Structures are given as structure tokens and as C-alpha cells.
Amino acid sequence: MIHTHLQKSLVRRKTIQTDHLFALAVYLAAACVAGAFCWIVFDLLLNGIGKLSWAFLTELPVSSGRKGGISSVLVSTVMILLVTIIAAVPVAFATAIWLSEFTRNGGRLVIIVRLSLDILAGVPSIVFGLFGAAFFCVFLGLGYSILAGGLTLACMVLPILIRTTEAGLTAVNNGWRQGAAALGLTKSAALWQILLPAAAPSIAAGMVLGVGRAMAETAALIFTSGYVDRMPESVFDSGRALAIHIFDLSMNVPGGDKSAYASALVLIVAIGVVNLFALKLSDKLLASRIFT
């Protein structure tokens, strides 16, 4: 009896020690990620905060970006992102809804589509850039333009948006679908009023990942939207995205380091604002559509 009690006590003690070690490893991993992010932000602040000002945000680049600001670069970046979102989101939502709500899980076409999405998600951005240059710039005759760059980025972010939206819809309990059917709701009404709001966190995560990748992209845009740093007048004009501007200042412009650091700081802040906005919007949708 005493021997059995000692064995149970030893097993419990080992279990507790294992749990503590596991918790410590998890906290260390999280601390490493947070530490790396803080290190990057600190380096950007240290080298770029002195250059950052209202004039830097509102003036045009001068002397290849060594002087002046980044107003035209910001406008080009926003226009490219708008084209990307407008082109990618409807296609991504429609495809994700088709995969999760209108097909059989084991269907051959579904397997092919999902495999294609997984492969596309791993394709290097330079390949998308070459495709965009060949198809949008040359074949469709768009040339180096914001429209060509945005459509190329739309192709890049589609796999992320589709898979995250599909995962969110698939995770919704089937009881909600059955309840909606019992109340006489049509499939479209159930989707818009119940399923999509319930999947809002996953959709927001996909939007954050997609927009973050698009904002930080360089290789695909070099071949499609171009290098020009003048103020664009329409989506058919060439435009320099913020990531390309940072790359050019760092690699090709002597004396452009300070402007590159300040531009990178602006990019980090912009991505953070997009993340916060997406999270707040998903929380609001989830609360207003389901729990009220």
C-alpha cells in the first residue's frame, strides 16, 4: 500500500516537473519572438526616428529619395493595396464558400483545388512577378502600372485568403447550419448572417497575413508596378511601393540609409494599424451579428 502510494507520488511529481518544463519552453519561445520584434523596432527607431516628420510624410522624394519625403510612395502603396483587395477578396470569399459549403470533402475537383492553393502559397514571389510581367504587363497590355502590380499581388494573396476563410467556415459548428435551416433561412442568408460573422476571426487573420505580405512585397512589384517615384495620377501609371523604396534606398542610393530606416518605420506602423483594424472589425462583427 505504501509502495503504491510512493509510486503515485513520484509519477505526479514527474508530471508536474514535465508541465513546468513545457510551460517554460513555451514562455521562452514567446519571449524569443517578442524579443526579435522589439530588437527590430528598436533598431528602426534608433536610426530612423530623427528623419521622421510630417514633412517626410507629405513631401515628394528628392534626389532619388535622399532628401524630401515619401508622399508619392505612400499614395502608390495605398493604390496598389486597394487594387489587390478589390481584386482578391471577392474571388477568395467565393472560392472559400464553394469549398466549405457546396462541395463534397472527398471530391476530386476539391482535392485538386486545395492542392493547387497549397502549391501556390509556397511559390516564390519572384515567380509571381515574372508571371505578372508576362501576363498583365505584356499580354494584357497594362505595362508597368499600379494596376498590374495590384493584380499580381492579388494572385499572391489568394491562397492565404481562401484557405483561412475556408478554415474559419469549416470550424463553425454544424448545429448552427441546422438551426438556420430549421428557422427557414436560405443558404445565402445563413452565410451572411451567421457563418461568415462566426468565421470573422479567421477571415481577419487571413486579411492581416495577406495585406502584410502585399505591403512588404518587393520582387513581384519590381517587374510589374515599376520604380518610378513620381505621384501617380491613376492606376495605369507606374508607381513605387514603400517596400521597393526601402530596398532601393538601401541598395542603390548612397546616403539613403536614414530615409530607408524612416520608411521602414512607417511600413511597420502601417502594418500594425492594419492588424489592429482587422482585429477590431472581426470582434465587432462577431459580437454584433451573433451575440446580440
Task: Give percent of the chain with pLDDT exceeding 70.
Answer: 89
pTM over cut 0.75: yes
Interacting residues of 226 by C-beta distance below 8 A, sequence separation 6+: 144, 145, 149, 238, 239, 240
**Range of 6-20, 79-93, 208-222 with top mean pLDDT:** 79-93
Q: Please name which of 282, 288, 102, 286 lies closest in space to residue 188, comparing C-alpha atoms.
A: 102
Return the exposure string of 81-101: e unless at least 16 CB atoms fall within 10 Å of the residue's CB, then b: bebbbebbbeebbebbbebbe
Q: Please name which of 199, 187, 193 lies closest in space to residue 96, comparing C-alpha atoms.
A: 199
Question: Given pLDDT bands bounded at 50, 70 and 90, which one contains residue 108?
Answer: confident
d(CA 204, CA 200): 6
Q: What is the pLDDT of residue 10?
A: 60
pLDDT surpasses 50 at 291 = no
Residue whose grid cell is 475537383? 109
Structural domain 54-290, CATH architecture:
Orthogonal Bundle (1.10)
pLDDT surpasses 50 at 292 = no
pLDDT surpasses 60 at 288 = no
Average pLDDT of the chain, as a whole number: 83
Task: Give percent of the chain with pLDDT exceeding 90.
Answer: 20
Q: What distances in angstroms separate CA 194 from CA 3, 173, 189, 190, one per listed residue?
A: 57, 11, 8, 5
Sign of the CA dihedral with 92 first, then 243, 268, and 60 last: negative
Of the two residues 256 and 266, the one the predictor is more confident about is 266
Q: Please name which of 64, 123, 33 lies closest in space to residue 250, comparing C-alpha atoms.
A: 64
Chain centre to alpha carbon of residue 207: 5
Q: What are phi and psi of 96, to 5 degrees?
A: -65, -40
Neighbours of 31 (CB within 10 A): 10
For residues 124-137, average pLDDT: 91
Residue 138 has what DSSP assignment? I
The answer to whether 160 touches 217, Cβ cutoff 8 Å, is no
Chain centre to alpha carbon of residue 200: 15
Q: Please name which of 114, 86, 121, 87 lies closest in space to residue 100, comparing C-alpha atoms.
A: 114
Q: Please name which of 151, 158, 111 lies closest in space to residue 133, comparing C-alpha atoms.
A: 151
Domain ranges of the chain: 54-290
Question: Given pLDDT bands bounded at 50, 70 and 90, which one contains residue 290?
Answer: very low
For residues 120-142, average pLDDT: 90
